[in-house]
Amino acid sequence: MEQRLAGVHFPISDFVDGRLSGIHRSAQPGVSVEFAEHKEYSPGDDLRHLNWKAYARLDRFYIRQFTRETHAEVVLVLDTSGSMNYQSKLSPHTKLFFAAQLAAAMSYVFLHQNDAVGILTLNGSKMGRFVPPRSHPSHLMTIQEVLLDVLNDRTVPRKAEGQTEFMESLDYLISRKTIRSGVILLSDLFTSIPSLFPYLAYLKAQGNFVWLVHTLDPAEYDFQKGSDRSFPFDGSMRFRSSETGRSVLMDCRLNRRDYLRRMEEFLGETQHSAAEARVIYNGMNSDEEPVECLLKALLERR
């Protein structure tokens, strides 16, 4: 992973208001490396930044202002609900394993560009573990330990925990006054879409970079090939929700077309809501290689 991600930068295009030296431009004027603009002198301004050449030409005092380079603070929100533990025969991994690997790759990129990264997990409707953002390189090990704990915990069968709800976790981020930061949500989004996006839109309105990584098993829906591999089931099968415990008996051949129609409506609604909220959206399948998915997504942002 390290070799393939060496030199990769994450293009957070919004202004970020940080503390350390990073690669992002802050909206806060400061004394640093890049000239921004002139402003007319006011009592109390730093006289060291007077532009004497401008004074000689205009007979007025002007102060040079600079933008300072800062680090971004990013929180990865990882859905660890029961449905994320699904794995079909088309995928070598569960959706949760894929999302955890992707989160690890993102963390590596952030920390190597002096950004601070943290992680928040959620189980069903409850907020799980929160690790505050840190920018020290050794913090990568902390993130990896959290991800490993999540994966190990999910190898043990558990009772249904209820439908995924992000409200408690996103309320917590809002209560932390998450402003001019990055919020990246990794989930299969089997939740109430109308309830989710007002939170994401609010975070975006606070100047945050908000990225939604929609993770599905290719049997649920294949983002690359559309309906070719989606819902590859045949005969009568009973499908059980790992979140609610409810089950339904279905004739797969007779209901495949209706399933695909409903799934495409769901994806269309999600993508439309993301566009309205000005949230970045990417659909990824769990049988893909996480680092390649990250590189492809970053390339699309350039």
Output the tens digit of pLDDT for each of the chain's 302 residues.
Answer: 777 888 788 766 444 544 444 555 555 544 445 556 677 877 667 777 788 888 788 888 888 765 545 578 899 999 998 899 999 999 999 999 999 999 999 999 999 888 899 999 987 667 889 999 998 999 999 999 999 999 998 655 555 455 567 888 888 888 887 767 899 999 999 988 888 999 999 999 988 999 999 999 999 999 987 777 899 999 999 999 887 888 999 999 999 999 999 999 999 999 999 999 999 999 999 999 999 999 999 888 76
Per-residue confidence (pLDDT) for residue 258, from 0 to 100 = 96
Please state which CATH number belongs to domain 73-301. Answer: 3.40.50.410
Give the whole-angstrom CA distance, residue 31 versus residue 185. 34
Per-residue confidence (pLDDT) for residue 31, from 0 to 100 = 41
Q: What is the 3-state secondary structure (H, E, C) of the chain?
A: CHHHHCCCCCCCCCCCCCCCCCCEEEEEEECCCEEEEEEECCCCCCHHHECHHHHHHHCCCEEEEEEEEECCEEEEEEECCHHHHCCCCCCCCCHHHHHHHHHHHHHHHHHCCCCEEEEEEEECCEEEEEEEEECCCCHHHHHHHHHHHHHHHCCCCCCCCCCCCCHHHHHHHHHCCCCCCEEEEEECCCCCHHHHHHHHHHHHHCCCEEEEEEEECCCCCECCCECCCCCCCCCEEEEECCCCCCEEEEEHHHHHHHHHHHHHHHHHHHHHHHHHCCCEEEEEECCCCHHHHHHHHHHHHC
Domain ranges of the chain: 24-70, 73-301
Give the whole-angstrom CA distance, residue 101 versus residue 116. 18
Q: Which amino acid is at 172?
A: Y
* pTM given for the model: 0.81
Per-residue confidence (pLDDT) for residue 76, from 0 to 100 = 96
Per-residue confidence (pLDDT) for residue 200, from 0 to 100 = 94
Per-residue confidence (pLDDT) for residue 34, from 0 to 100 = 57
Per-residue confidence (pLDDT) for residue 143, from 0 to 100 = 97
Per-residue confidence (pLDDT) for residue 75, from 0 to 100 = 94
Q: Give me the sign of the Cα torsion angle 50, 53, 54, 55.
A: positive
Which residue, 132, 99, 23, is CA-closest to 67? Answer: 23
Give the whole-angstrom CA distance, residue 101 versus residue 106. 9
Residues 6+ apart with CB under 8 A from 299: none
For the chain, give the number of residues.
302
